[in-house]
Amino acid sequence: MKTKIRVGKKLTIHIPKAVAEELNIKEGDILSLRVKDNKIILEHNDAILFSIKGKKFAKITLDEIEKISEEEQNSYENPH
């Protein structure tokens, strides 16, 4: 999708409704803005989208998660 927009007062820009709907951008969402190669890049920081498509930086197995959960539960049942 490509569209033209106009820069408004105080250098504001308006995201067209069709673009917001396509990217699931809603009022109150936080977006990231950066400049690269003389272009403005605006990215939607959707946590679910990030978890699916974002760069992975850690690995943990379900067994490891269960072990940590049990240790935490035991720490509440048996405080030192």
The CATH number for 63's domain is 2.10.260
Q: Which of 1-15, 22-36, 37-51, 65-79 has the highest mean pLDDT?
A: 1-15
Tell me how far apart the alpha carbons of residues 48 and 42 are, in angstroms, rounded to a whole number.
Answer: 18
Predicted structure pTM score: 0.50
Domain total in the chain: 1
Structural domain includes residue 16: yes
Task: Examine the pLDDT at 45 and tell me if it is beyond 80.
Answer: no
Structural domain includes residue 22: yes
Structural domain includes residue 18: yes
Structural domain includes residue 2: no
For 10-25, what is each residue's pLDDT tens digit? 999 999 999 899 888 8
The one-letter code for the residue type at 64 is E
Structural domain includes residue 4: no
Structural domain includes residue 30: yes
For residue 20, what are the domain limits? Answer: 9-77
Q: Which residues pair with 43 in a beta bridge?
A: 32
